[in-house]
Amino acid sequence: MANTIATTVWRNKYYANAIQTALRNMLVAEKICQVDRSDNMYIYNPYGTAPTTTIHAIDGSYTVSAFTNTNDTLTITDEFYSANHVYDFESTLSNFDLFANRTDELSASVAQAIDKYVLNALLTDGTGTYSTPSGGFTTASNLNTIMSNLISKVAGYADVYKGLFLVLENTDLTGVIQAQATNGYSFADAALNNGFLSSYMGVDIYVVRTGTFATETEGTKSMEGSGHRVFGVKGVATYAAPRGLKFEEKMVTCKTGREIVCYGYLGFKLWTTKAGLIVDITLV
C-alpha cells in the first residue's frame, strides 16, 4: 500500500535562483526617437520662417524680406513611477533575491509605460495622415500599396537619410508575413526560411503588443492611438528623461523591510518643423 505524501515534503529547486519574470514587450521608442537624459527640464529648439528665393533678370537689385523666429520647446510635464514594499520576512524566507527581482520588475514596468506613452504621443502629434485600404495590414494584398503610399508621403526630404520606420501591433502581422513570403524571389525565400523580416521596402518595421496604441489620457497628454499605427522618419522627435530612471529604498513606519520605488520624469516633443514627417495611419 502506497504512502500518501504531502507535496510540501519534496525538495524544492529554483531555476537560476530567481522567479520567472513576466513576459516583457519589445521597447521601440528609443529606436525611432532622439533621447535626452541630461538634467535639463526644458529643451529649446527655435526655428525661423523659411526664406524664399526669387529668380529674375539680371539688374543688380534685390528685395529684403523680414523673418520671424519662433521658440519650439520640449517641457518636462509628466512623472512615472512604480512601487512595491518588500517585507523583511519575505526577503529572509525566500530562496532567491526577492528585493533585486522586484527592482528589476519595477524598472521594466516603467520602461514599458514610457514606450507606450511616446508611441501614442508621436502619432497624435504627427500632422501626416493616411488611411489604409479596407482590411489594413491584415490583408496581404494591401501591403505593397500601403508601403508605397507611406513612403511617398516623406520621399524627397533630406531627413529621410536618417531612416524610415513603421510601428505595428502583433495582430497586424498576419497580412504582413503572407505578403513578405509571396513578393519577389530572394526576399520571399528569405521570409519563407526565416519568418517575419523586420525591413520591407527600406522601412524598418517594429512590432509592439496589441493594446499599445490606445485612446486615453496619460499624464498631461491626450492620446488618440486606438485604431491607429505610426510611420515616419527616425530621429525627428525627442523624448527627455532627465537622469533616466531613479530608485529609492525607504523604511516605513510600522513595517519591516523596505519600500522600493522606481520613478522618473518625462517630456516629449515632435518638433514643429518636422511634424509632417510623422504619419498617423488610420486602419480601415
Give me 200's grid cell: 520591407
What percent of the chain shows pLDDT beyond 90? 65
Question: Is the residue at 261 inside a domain?
Answer: yes
Beta partners for 249? Answer: 260
Residues whose CB falls within 8 Å of the CB of residue 80, separated by 6 or more in sequence, listed in order: 110, 113, 114, 117, 263, 264, 265, 266
Residue numbers of the domain that contains 144: 27-282
CATH code, 107: 3.30.2400.10
DSSP secondary structure of 164-202: EEEEEEGGGHHHHHHHHHHSSSHHHHHHHHH-S-SEETT
Rounded Cα gap, residues 225 and 213, in angstroms: 5
Render pLDDT for 60-81 as a digit per residue (tens, 0 to 9). Answer: 999 999 999 999 999 999 999 9
Render pLDDT for 217-263 as a digit per residue (tens, 0 to 9). Answer: 988 999 999 999 999 999 999 999 988 888 898 999 999 988 999 99
Question: Is the residue at 102 inside a domain?
Answer: yes
Query: Is residue 200 within 8 Å of residue 211, measured between CB atoms?
Result: no
Using the predicted structure, report yes or no on whether residue 284 has a pLDDT greater than 70.
yes
Rounded Cα gap, residues 17 and 258, in angstroms: 21
Question: Is the residue at 109 inside a domain?
Answer: yes
State pTM to two decimals.
Answer: 0.85
Question: Is the residue at 8 inside a domain?
Answer: no
Rounded Cα gap, residues 89 and 86, in angstroms: 8
Render pLDDT for 105-140 as a digit per residue (tens, 0 to 9). Answer: 888 899 899 999 999 999 999 999 999 999 999 999
Beta partners for 86? Answer: 258
Rounded Cα gap, residues 116 and 37, in angstroms: 18
Beta partners for 248? Answer: 261
Beta partners for 208? Answer: 169
Which contiguous run of DSSP H or E holds residue 82?
strand 78-86
Using the predicted structure, report yes or no on whether residue 162 has a pLDDT greater than 90.
yes
Question: Is the residue at 73 inside a domain?
Answer: yes
Rounded Cα gap, residues 243 and 37, in angstroms: 5
Beta partners for 78? Answer: 266
Q: How many domains does the chain have?
A: 1
pLDDT category at 204 given cuts 50, 70, 90 is very high
Rounded Cα gap, residues 28 and 215, in angstroms: 19
Render pLDDT for 6-25 as a digit per residue (tens, 0 to 9). Answer: 777 777 666 665 677 778 88
pLDDT of residue 15: 65
Query: Is residue 180 within 8 Å of residue 142, measured between CB atoms?
Result: no
Rounded Cα gap, residues 130 and 157, in angstroms: 18
Question: Is the residue at 3 inside a domain?
Answer: no
Question: Is the residue at 12 inside a domain?
Answer: no
pLDDT of residue 245: 86
Quickly list H helices, the chain: 29-32, 88-93, 98-125, 143-154, 173-182, 186-194
Query: Taking the CA of residue 35 as centre, how many other CA atoms within 13 Å lie in the half-sphere pointing to its CB?
Result: 14
Question: Is the residue at 15 inside a domain?
Answer: no
Say how many Å lie between the first and final Cα of the chain, rounded.
67
Using the predicted structure, report yes or no on whether residue 101 has a pLDDT greater than 70.
yes
Rounded Cα gap, residues 80 and 266, in angstroms: 7
